[in-house]
Structure 1
Amino acid sequence: MRIDIRHRCDHFDSYRAARVQSLFNVETGANVDIAADLPVEGDDWSIGLVVGPSGSGKTSIGREIFGAGAFYEAAGWPADAPIVDAIAPHGAFDEVTAALAAVGLGSVPAWLRPYHVLSNGERFRADLARIVCERPARVVVDEFTSVVDRQIARIGALAFAKAWRRTSGQAVLLSCHRDIVDWLSPDWVYDTASGQFTGRYLRRRPDIALDIHECGWEFWPQFEPHHYLKLPKMIAATCYVGCVEGAPVAHVAFSTRPGMVEARACRLVIMPEWQGAGVGLRFLNAICARWRRGHNRFGKPMPTLFHTSHPGLAAALRRHRDWAQVSCNLYGANKAKSAASIRRTKHAGTGYGGHFRAVQGFRYVESGQ
Structure 2
Amino acid sequence: MRVSISYRSAPPVPSPNIRRLQEAFGIGLCERVVKLCDADIDLPEKGVVFIGGPSGCGKSSILRFLMRNLKGVVDLNATRLPEKPLIDALDIGFGEALALFGMVGLGEAFVLLRRYGELSDGQRYRAQLAAALARQPAVLVADEFCSTLDRLTARVVAFNLRRLVWRRNCLAICAAAQHDFLHDLQPDLTILFERGNWVVRRHDPKPAPVSFAERITVREGTKRDWDYFARWHYRSHSLGIVDRIFVMELEGEPVGIVVYGHPMGACALRNKATGGRYAGRPVSAKRALLDKELRVVQRIVVEPRFRGLGLAARLLRETVPRLGVRFVECITVMGGFSGFLQKAGFVCVGRVSAPRIGR
Q: TM-score range by the shorter chain?
A: 0.7 to 0.9
The 1:144–1:302 alpha-carbon spacing in structure 2 relative to 1, beyond 3 Å, is: same
Aligned position for 1:335: none
Aligned position for 2:333: 309
Match of 2:252 among 246, 253, 269: 246
Higher helix share: 2
Q: In the aligned structure 1, how far is the partner of 2:348 from the partner of 2:204?
A: 38
Aligned position for 1:97: 98
Q: Any stretches of 5+ residues in structure 1 without a counterpart?
A: 295-300, 333-352, 357-369
The 1:225–1:9 alpha-carbon spacing in structure 2 relative to 1, beyond 3 Å, is: farther
Q: In the aligned structure 2, how far is the partner of 1:19 from the partner of 1:254?
A: 73
Matches within 5 A, 1:168-207: 168-194=169-195, 195-202=198-205, 206-207=211-212
Higher mean C-alpha displacement, 56-65 vs 8-17: 8-17
Aligned position for 1:364: none
**Is 2:99–2:338's contact at 8 Å kept on the other side of the alignment?**
no
TM-score if structure 1 supplies the norm length? 0.78
Match of 2:238 among 232, 235, 243: 232
Aligned position for 1:71: 75
Give the deviation of 1:2 after TM superposition: 2.1
Give the deviation of 1:32 after TM superposition: 4.9
**Is 1:97–1:312's contact at 8 Å kept on the other side of the alignment?**
no
What do residues 203-237 of structure 1 show as CA deviations (whole Å, max 9, x unaligned)? 76635022111121222222111112232123244
**Is 1:84–1:111's contact at 8 Å kept on the other side of the alignment?**
yes
SS at match of 2:238: coil
Opposite residue 6 of structure 2, the aligned amino acid is R
Aligned residues: CA RMSD: 2.9
What do residues 84-128 of structure 1 show as CA deviations (whole Å, max 9, x unaligned)? 2112x2x22111111111122222211111111110000111111
Higher mean C-alpha displacement, 305-314 vs 170-179: 305-314
Aligned position for 1:208: 213
Give the deviation of 1:76 after TM superposition: 4.3
Q: In the aligned structure 1, how far is the partner of 2:298 from the partner of 2:24?
A: 70
Q: In the aligned structure 2, how far is the partner of 1:178 from the partner of 1:202?
A: 16
Give the deviation of 1:55 after TM superposition: 1.8
The 1:153–1:17 alpha-carbon spacing in structure 2 relative to 1, beyond 3 Å, is: farther
The 1:331–1:71 alpha-carbon spacing in structure 2 relative to 1, beyond 3 Å, is: closer
**Is 1:132–1:164's contact at 8 Å kept on the other side of the alignment?**
no
Give the paired residue count.
321
The answer to whether residue 311 in structure 2 is matched with residue 322 in structure 1 is no
Q: In the aligned structure 1, how far is the partner of 2:170 from the partner of 2:330?
A: 35
Percent identity among equivalent residues? 25
Aligned position for 2:306: 274
TM-score if structure 2 supplies the norm length? 0.80
